[in-house]
Amino acid sequence: MTEHFRVAIVGSGPGGMSAAGRAAQSKLSHVLLEKTDHLSDTIYKYQKGKLVMATPDILPLRSPMDFKLGIREDILGTWDKQTKELGVNLRYNAEVTKITGRKGAFELTVNGKDKVTAEYVVLAIGLQGNLRKLGVPGENDPRIQYQLDDPDEYAEETIVVVGAGDAAIENAVALAKQNKVIMINRSAEFARCKQGNLDLITKSLEKGVLECMYKSSPTKVEAGPRLKFTLKTADGEAVVECDRVIARLGALAPRAFVESCGIQFPSKDPTALPELSAHYESNVPGLYVIGALAGYPLIKQAMNQGYEVVEFIQGNECEPADEPLLKEKFKGALLDRYGSIPGLLAEMQKTVPVFSGLTTLQLREVLLESNVHTPKGGGEIFHRNDYSNTFYTIFAGEVGIEIDPDHPDEMVRLGPGEFFGEMGLLAGRRRSATVRATQDCVLIETSRREMIKLIKSVPKVRDVVDAAAIERQIRSYIAPNLSKDDMAAVLESAKLRSFKANEVIFNEGDPGDGVFLIRTGSCTVSRRIGGREIVMNYVPAGHYVGEMALVRDMPRAATVKAAIETEAVWLDGAGFRMLMDHLPQLRSQIERRIGAIITQTEDISQRPEAGNLIQFLVQEGGKEAADMLLIDEALCVRCDNCEKACAETHGGISRLDREAGPTYATIHVPTSCRHCEHPHCMADCPPDALHKTKDGEVFIDEQTCIGCGNCERNCPYGVIHMAYDPPKKPGLLSWLLFGFGHGPGEDKIASHASHEGKKRAVKCDMCKDIEGGAACVRSCPTGAAIRVHPEQFFALTTHSPQ
């Protein structure tokens, strides 16, 4: 018998479940089809006790089901209860294998045999797809698992983990605490994982915590008292006996199934998502797509979509959940002028080229994360040398950029549709110019995180930003007063070039064919002296290299190498010579620079150890640091007053390990934050708890840190650690007279913490809230501890401490 419903909802994740809940609430005949025997399989498979985030925080939830930040078990429990209470018509173990028909008469095949018909179908199957199996004889043995709930459940076993992705690495390392673990990696290295996990597995393998068989793939599994796992390796066949196999091989994307339903994808790109109407309807009328498959991977967004899609199916218009928030942002004259938010957004996409490549939904999301400013004419927006890194777009009005601080009246003016602030964003350096409103303006200020997301995911945004950025960078770093025509000629030859870490930008002796303006990253300049490569200098972003060969008409005098991933604007020789001819100041500035370089080169070639020191500092983080703590061990009396001061000024836990860390000659780089320009720790912080201050300090917001440990894993310098709150210190007298607890400066790593309460990440914040600055440096009695900017490396080598 075929059952018939108004709406069939496929998949019981947050989106599908919320849609079914709304349908039940609206007394709409519906069915929710779930292929497993529980709700929301993706979340169900999270590790036990995992904290589930409810981002974006400001987005209101619109769903008959509840959802807020909490642990996996509580959230799933609430949903189970609420689907029952609402009377959701839920079928477990019902895998939809085929969808045919059209609006009003869809036919869904369940488990390959049963049929269900529906007028509308909502596809909410997510992106997880079906887990990939081993694909060898014996793959169905119950001791072969394709997921791992709780790694602590197993002990004293030999476990084979197959795979080389993030899940495999995380599982393998977690299991290795109590078990003997052997990883099976099909390739010769770990190339598909996040940097943090690559470091994790590399360290674990070095320490011998677990083993890994490279270039190996399974051929069969034989059951027995223990599993006999046969592998094909580079050296022939190998057999591993084990108690358990955990295979983490990723999933088969659901795309083939979605396409079989008639839904089209805009491109062959595996990350492409189906194109949808503003009502989430696909190109097949009556067939709707919501959730991760519709491009909305966050739980709250998916739940809101579930609610909305059922309203749309019932013919109800419903304004998006974020509408009131946007109205609040744009309230006043602006909203009145365009009548409604959709009208305003349409106008914005027309005037602002950066936003023109976004879908309406993407634009809404960007605006939610942005601030609207309406400065009056003359007001300052930001100041030269500020360390803020937000991105501004001009919706109305005009701003002026004071490129040359000595001539504040000479401003470059920008009008509606243009943007500014991208240099701080791209280079991670201080603001290169002061910007003020020259008329009353409407400006949209977007966060760095949101902008970087857009630049990475929307090619149009990247192109628009890059094109304008190249011109601005030339203006700001080389030729501020270039006329429009001359600039056009220079831009003609300008090209964006990117270099990997340690890649050579040009070699000593190469013909000098152009100048490189370093726009992000940094590089080292070195020469071969007496058969050895000696580092001469370090060049951070915002400077150019290669001008010497052009001016002197000689081959390259030195080798320039990218210290980290670096992007440079390349200007060809003719273009750059033209610049020098037009701008006598530039020529004399370059002549002066060359003079300084020659002296410096002569100096360093007499003292190769100074070059080695620069090289050492660059390697130890100088290449991306805004600020480094350096200890001169010829002065350091090992009193640890720096650590004590750090702990005493930061809630009892030192963020600095003086003794650990590398040393060259007597210069020691302790384990302490480098305050990177593009901080690795900030790359993957789920609650966005890591921030950069105006002055460039990277700090953790203790209130929002959830203690997930991502930053600790992602930091290449090991300067972040996880800590519990330390016990309260006793009063001075009760410590002095009765020996209660720890006194001033004692127990600076909080070894007596209670291990209760929240564990959170701690790191150096450069004493941003403490008057007088870094306590470690101020508390060093002998002047051994200093903080330096990478620009000072050369000066450091010329200075003798005694």
* Contact residues: another protein, CB under 8 A: 630, 632-638, 641, 644-645, 648-649, 659-660, 662-663, 666, 668, 744-745, 767, 770-772, 775, 777-784, 786, 788, 792, 795-796, 799, 801-802
Chain-centroid distance of CA 136 in Å reads 37
Distance (Å, rounded) from C-alpha 219 to C-alpha 223? 14
- Closer CB to another protein, residue 39 or residue 780? 780
Q: At its nearest, how many Å lie between another protein and the CB of residue 201?
A: 22
Task: Classify 302 as helix, strand or coil.
Answer: helix
Q: At its nearest, how many Å lie between another protein and the CB of residue 745?
A: 6
Element (H, E) at 160: strand 158-162
- Closer CB to another protein, residue 44 or residue 664? 664
**CB of 121 within 8 A of CB of 136?**
no
Q: At its nearest, how many Å lie between another protein and the CB of residue 289?
A: 56
Distance (Å, rounded) from C-alpha 266 to C-alpha 8? 25
Q: At its nearest, how many Å lie between another protein and the CB of residue 781?
A: 4
* Cβ partners under 8 Å of residue 369, min gap 6: 56, 446, 447, 449, 450
Q: At its nearest, how many Å lie between another protein and the CB of residue 156?
A: 23
Chain-centroid distance of CA 613 in Å reads 32
Residue with tokens 């902008």: 451
Q: Any alpha helices (H) in 607-693, and if so which ranges? A: 608-617, 641-649
Q: At its nearest, how many Å lie between another protein and the CB of residue 357?
A: 49
* Amino acid, single-letter form, for residue 419: F
**CB of 420 within 8 A of CB of 435?**
yes
Q: What's the chain's length in residues?
A: 802
Task: Classify 294 as helix, strand or coil.
Answer: helix
Distance (Å, rounded) from C-alpha 662 to C-alpha 629? 12
**CB of 560 within 8 A of CB of 525?**
yes
- Closer CB to another protein, residue 56 or residue 730? 730
- Closer CB to another protein, residue 323 or residue 603? 603
Look at residues 512, 476, 473 and name the one whose alpha carbon lies nearest to residue 495. 473
**CB of 735 within 8 A of CB of 741?**
yes
CA separation, residue 650 to residues 44, 773, 776 (Å): 38, 13, 11
Chain-centroid distance of CA 548 in Å reads 37
- Closer CB to another protein, residue 606 or residue 802? 802
Give the DSSP letter string of 351-370.
H-HHHHTS-HHHHHHHHHTE
Task: Classify 449 as helix, strand or coil.
Answer: helix
- Closer CB to another protein, residue 193 or residue 614? 614
Residue with tokens 């509408």: 323
Q: At its nearest, how many Å lie between another protein and the CB of residue 691?
A: 22
- Closer CB to another protein, residue 321 or residue 636? 636
- Closer CB to another protein, residue 489 or residue 635? 635
What sign does the CA torsion over 65, 67, 70, 76 have? positive
- Closer CB to another protein, residue 598 or residue 637? 637
Q: At its nearest, how many Å lie between another protein and the CB of residue 794?
A: 11
Give the tokens for residue 561.
Answer: 């190498």
Q: At its nearest, how many Å lie between another protein and the CB of residue 205?
A: 18
Q: At its nearest, how many Å lie between another protein and the CB of residue 728?
A: 17
* Amino acid, single-letter form, for residue 129: G
Residue with tokens 């001061």: 645
Task: Classify 202 as helix, strand or coil.
Answer: helix
**CB of 236 within 8 A of CB of 149?**
no
Query: What is the 8-class DSSP label of residue 153?
Result: G
Q: At its nearest, how many Å lie between another protein and the CB of residue 800?
A: 8
Q: At its nearest, how many Å lie between another protein and the CB of residue 182?
A: 24
Distance (Å, rounded) from C-alpha 560 to C-alpha 538? 9
Q: Any alpha helices (H) in 521-630, and if so which ranges? A: 547-552, 573-582, 584-606, 608-617
- Closer CB to another protein, residue 400 or residue 790? 790
- Closer CB to another protein, residue 255 or residue 789? 789
- Closer CB to another protein, residue 57 or residue 659? 659
- Closer CB to another protein, residue 614 or residue 630? 630
- Closer CB to another protein, residue 27 or residue 799? 799
Q: At its nearest, how many Å lie between another protein and the CB of residue 689?
A: 24
Q: At its nearest, how many Å lie between another protein and the CB of residue 541?
A: 24
**CB of 89 within 8 A of CB of 19?**
no
